[in-house]
Amino acid sequence: MSHAAHQAPAPRPAQDAHTAQDAPAAQDVPGAGGAGALADIGDALARAGAASLSGQRAELAQSLLRAALSKWEDPAARPQLLAAFSAVFTGEDGAARMRDFMSRQIFQQLADSLQEPAKDFEEVARALGVPPMNINAAQAQVWGVAVLRYVVKLEPLASASVEDVIATVSPTIQRYLVG
> pTM of the predicted model, to two decimals?
0.75
Q: Give 126's DSSP letter.
A: H
CB contact at 8 A, 142 and 176? no
Question: What are the helix (H) ranges across the chain?
Answer: 35-53, 60-73, 78-90, 92-100, 106-113, 121-128, 132-146, 162-177
Q: What is the rounded CA–CA span in Å between residue 40 and residue 22?
A: 22
pLDDT by residue, tens only, the chain of 179 residues: 333 333 333 333 333 333 333 333 333 333 445 668 788 888 888 888 787 777 778 888 999 999 999 999 999 999 999 988 888 888 899 889 889 988 888 888 888 888 888 888 888 888 888 999 999 999 999 999 999 999 999 999 999 999 999 999 999 999 999 87
Query: Can you say how many angstroms the Cα of residue 80 is from the centroid of all Cα atoms in its chain?
Result: 14
Q: What is the rounded CA–CA span in Å between residue 89 and residue 9?
A: 31
Q: What is the rounded CA–CA span in Å between residue 34 and residue 92?
A: 15
